[in-house]
Amino acid sequence: MQPDASPQQTGNVRSTLERLGYTTSALAYLGPCYYAAIPGDECSAVPEPGLIARLRASGALAGIAALEPLAGADLAARARKPAGTEVRVGNVVIGGRAIVIVAGPCSIESREQLQQTALAVRAAGAHLLRGGAYKPRTSPYAFQGLGRVGLQLLAEAGSRAGLPVVTEVMAAEDAEVVADYADMLQVGARNMQNFPLLKCLGKLGKPVLLKRSPSATLEEWLGAAEYLLARGNDQVVLCERGIRGFDPNTRNTLDLSAVPALHELTHLPVLVDPSHGTGRRALIPAASRAAVAAGADGLCLEVHVRPEESISDREQALAPADLEALMPSLTAIAAAVERALHAARPRISPERWFPSGDYSTTCRAV
């Protein structure tokens, strides 16, 4: 819209387009006058030729400065925001100079497991706490997560540890409840192209961690991010977590070439998940160092207070001590690439947390 367009003109343009079946969203991240009109869920028709000219002539588009056709991943393109996007999750900024560590268990298993892990990852220098409550499992017979109880445990552990929390949302119908408990919503690899979910998260506006599907090209991945951006949500962080390879030595093939390629293509921050990317505890430290050297804006690491007891993804679970041991080399590599690790939170003494050593464990999943 023109900078001096009246709110009434903006309202008229939006309602005209919405009557034609478009959904309109304010793109506040580009500036106060930017809006997108995208085909709405009920919009089957392509606008007939000459429609825009007719609308202009009728005055229904008064106040518009320019109409620009959008295609592909236009809004995700680096040229839109050459300085890059910063994503704010609680008091943590992803995409600035500081490198962010997201750590926590694959699955939330119990209050005790999560609180102990939260305390330990904070002490080791992590900035965000992760943990899955709704788990996408390959087998329907495997543990599916604690669901809403898990969300409550995560919010509780995060607030006690002073760490913002990120957890996966698998379905659009769960998005609001997950958003009530989490600071950032993860779209898992298997759901990267769950378009109803992406549309819903675009409108919700909470920060999203969008993992790469194991079979997605960068173009497909950015197309998925575009669903969020086109609905006004630019708080999107991409997470490389390995793509399907042919070598059984690693669970996936961690595509670190994607990191500089994405920085060239898009303004969105990029995290790397060496846990799912390698699937093997022994490989994670080296892959983490390589990711920081490649320019990642942070790491997502699976850490369990007792790795050998992990219910899911046991082979790739680090112990808190492994994370602590990794931090000095990450700090050194960050400095070598003109970055720094995000400031660590001061340690919390375990006595303050667990005065009686007593947990009323809500649920022990088996």
Residues that bind ligand PEP (CB under 6 A): 106, 132, 136, 188-190, 211, 241, 276
| Closest distance of CB 239 from ligand PEP, Å | 7
Kindly tell me which of 244 and 347 has the beta carbon lying closer to ligand PEP.
Answer: 244
279/289 Cα distance (integer angstroms): 16
Task: From the list ligand PEP, Mn ion, none, pick the one residue 160 interacts with, judged by a Cβ distance below 5 to 8 Å according to partner type.
Answer: none
181/200 Cα distance (integer angstroms): 17
Kindly tell me which of 72 and 195 has the beta carbon lying closer to ligand PEP.
Answer: 195
| Closest distance of CB 186 from ligand PEP, Å | 6
Query: How far is C-alpha 107 from the chain's CA centre?
Result: 17
Task: From the list ligand PEP, Mn ion, none, pick the one residue 64 interacts with, judged by a Cβ distance below 5 to 8 Å according to partner type.
Answer: none
Kindly tell me which of 25 and 186 has the beta carbon lying closer to ligand PEP.
Answer: 186
| Closest distance of CB 138 from Mn ion, Å | 11
Q: Measured at CB, which residue is nearest to Mn ion?
A: 106
- In this structure, what DSSP letter does residue 303 have? B
| Closest distance of CB 109 from Mn ion, Å | 12
Task: From the list Mn ion, ligand PEP, none, pick the one residue 285 interacts with, judged by a Cβ distance below 5 to 8 Å according to partner type.
Answer: none
Q: Measured at CB, which residue is nearest to ligand PEP?
A: 188
Kindly tell me which of 127 and 276 has the beta carbon lying closer to ligand PEP.
Answer: 276
Kindly tell me which of 211 and 342 has the beta carbon lying closer to ligand PEP.
Answer: 211
Side chain identity at residue 216, one-letter code? A
Kindly tell me which of 103 and 200 has the beta carbon lying closer to ligand PEP.
Answer: 103
41/73 Cα distance (integer angstroms): 19
Task: From the list Mn ion, ligand PEP, none, pick the one residue 202 interacts with, judged by a Cβ distance below 5 to 8 Å according to partner type.
Answer: none
Per the CB < 8 A criterion, the answer to whether 2 and 65 are in contact is yes
Q: In terms of Cα–Cα distance, which of 102, 158, 138 is closest to 272?
A: 102
Task: From the list Mn ion, ligand PEP, none, pick the one residue 241 interacts with, judged by a Cβ distance below 5 to 8 Å according to partner type.
Answer: ligand PEP
Kindly tell me which of 175 and 189 has the beta carbon lying closer to Mn ion.
Answer: 189
- In this structure, what DSSP letter does residue 270 have? E
Q: Do the bridges between strand 128-130 and strand 165-168 make them parallel or antiparallel, or are there none, so unpaired? A: parallel
Please report the sign of the dihedral spanned by the C-alpha atoms of residue 255, residue 261, residue 262, residue 263: positive
For residue 65, give every residue at least 6 positions away whose Cβ sits within 8 Å of its Cβ, in sequence order, or none: 1, 2, 3, 5, 33
Tokens of 113: 């497991």
Task: From the list ligand PEP, Mn ion, none, pick the one residue 188 interacts with, judged by a Cβ distance below 5 to 8 Å according to partner type.
Answer: ligand PEP
Read off φ and ψ for residue 350, nearest 5 degrees: -55, -30
Per the CB < 8 A criterion, the answer to whether 210 and 192 are in contact is yes
For residue 128, the cross-strand partners are 102
Binding site for Mn ion (CB under 5 A): 106, 313
Which residue blocks in 231-270 are alpha helix, DSSP H?
A: 258-265
Task: From the list Mn ion, ligand PEP, none, pick the one residue 189 interacts with, judged by a Cβ distance below 5 to 8 Å according to partner type.
Answer: ligand PEP
